[in-house]
Amino acid sequence: MTMRIVFLDRAIFADSVKLRSPSFNHEWSNYDVTDTDQIITRLNGCNIAVTSKIPIRAADMDALPSLRMIAIAGAGTDHIDLEAAALRGITVANLRGYAWRAVAEHAIAMSFALARNLKSYSNAVTEGRWSEADAFCWHGGGEIRDLLGSCFAVFGRGAIGAEAGRLASLLGMKVIYAERQDADKVRPNYVAFDEALAIADIISLHCPLIASTREMINETAFAKMHRRPILINCGRGGLVNEAALVKALDSGQISAAGFDVLSKEPPSKHDTNPFLKLAHRPNVMITPHVGWASQAAMQSAADMLIGNIEAFEAGNPENIV
């Protein structure tokens, strides 16, 4: 039997990433992007659907009787109706552990850039202000802060959060791990959610986006950030209420924000996201969800994706959600 495999959003990988051919008899079709009204048409007759962010819901599955597996080209699963897949005997597998170091490094890089105001000082050189200085240096780009001795609060102690904490500790920061917001008690080696907000100089978010974490950083949470921290989000855009984030930046409740994720990705050219409109500010850094996208991490993800597909075809599925 020839297995038909369709990748709905191949553009999530850079062209430099090689997707090796699965080791069994198959037909493979790639689409760079897929609109929601194209999902059923493109997956018609498909046995294995590959998707990073394109949703596959119960109604889609009902229209696709040949579908046997959904191979997620990423870690997140909120775009897949997992209950519907289980009821229909469709195996769902995701990627695990492929970019933990890359995302952690991105979080630390953003912490460095914002603490040292690199965006402002780099722009000053480009705009000619250094050339106008009387001394050998120019101090007009804002406060420069050392990371040494800062309190680095990690929210989400999975592989990525743990690695971000490890790297922060190597830089001389005091690392704490925040307990879940809805926890009945604080586990050993964790700090209560509200206390972590209050004492942090840098907050780094690495939580999955689930019901209990959606918009967990909101106006109430910002009001508890007594040390005007830098807020880093390399987790999911929905972890933060973006309207409240704008207010927190405008009021000085936080000193800076570095985000690799937004609530809607990609944003449209006319996106009304209020936070996106602040991207020009020196204390705001927004990158286009590339924290995971080092060449090594992307290739690792691609190899794991094919590995999941081959394991399923061999009757020994791996990384099942």
The phi, psi pair for 25, rounded to 5°, reads -65, 125
Q: How confident is the model at residue 62 (pLDDT cuts 50, 70, 90)?
A: very high
Do residues 7 and 29 lie in contact, with contact meaning Cβ atoms separated by under 8 Å?
Answer: yes
Q: How confident is the model at residue 270 (pLDDT cuts 50, 70, 90)?
A: confident
The domain locations on the chain are: 3-98+296-313, 100-286
Alpha-carbon distance values, 14 to 32, 235, 285, 290 (Å): 11, 21, 22, 11
Position 251 pLDDT exceeds 90:
yes
Q: How far apart are CA 296 and CA 293, in angstroms?
A: 8
- Backbone Cα Rg of the chain: 22
The single-letter DSSP state of residue 53 is S
Do residues 223 and 254 lie in contact, with contact meaning Cβ atoms separated by under 8 Å?
Answer: no
Position 274 pLDDT exceeds 90:
yes
Residue matched to tokens 């406060």? 143
Could you tell me which residues come within 8 angstroms of residue 299 by beta carbon, excluding any fewer than 6 positions away?
A: 17, 18
Position 269 pLDDT exceeds 90:
no
Name the token pair of 10. 């191949």
Please say whether the dihedral angle defined by the alpha carbons of residues 294, 261, 151 and 195, taken in this order, is positive or negative. Answer: negative
Q: How confident is the model at residue 66 (pLDDT cuts 50, 70, 90)?
A: very high
Please say whether the dihedral angle defined by the alpha carbons of residues 238, 231, 287 and 298, taken in this order, is positive or negative. Answer: negative
Name the token pair of 201. 């100089």
Q: How far apart are CA 152 and CA 264, in angstroms?
A: 27
Q: Which CATH code fits 100-286?
A: 3.40.50.720
Could you tell me which residues come within 8 angstroms of residue 7 by beta carbon, excluding any fewer than 6 positions away?
A: 19, 28, 29, 30, 31, 50, 51, 73
Q: Which residues pair with 3 in a beta bridge?
A: 26
pLDDT in tens, 69-79: 999 999 888 89
Confidence (pLDDT) at 172: 98
pLDDT in tens, 277-290: 999 999 999 999 99
Position 271 pLDDT exceeds 90:
no
Give the closest residue to 205 by CA, choosing from 150, 249, 283, 262. Answer: 262
pLDDT in tens, 113-145: 999 999 999 999 999 999 999 899 999 999 999
Give the closest residue to 10 by CA, choosing from 1, 2, 19. Answer: 19
DSSP per-residue letters across 164-185:
HHHHHHHTTPEEEEBPPTT-SS
Q: Are the folds of 3-98+296-313 and 100-286 the same? A: yes
CATH number for 3-98+296-313 (one of 3.30.70.580, 3.40.50.300, 1.10.490.10, 3.40.50.720): it is: 3.40.50.720
Note if the pTM is more than 0.85.
Answer: yes
Could you tell me which residues come within 8 angstroms of residue 180 by beta carbon, excluding any fewer than 6 positions away?
A: 193, 212
Give the closest residue to 203 by CA, choosing from 170, 227, 183. Answer: 227
Q: How far apart are CA 7 and CA 72, in angstroms?
A: 10
Residue 272 three-state SS: coil
Residue 239 three-state SS: helix
Q: Which residues are catalytic?
A: 236, 265, 289
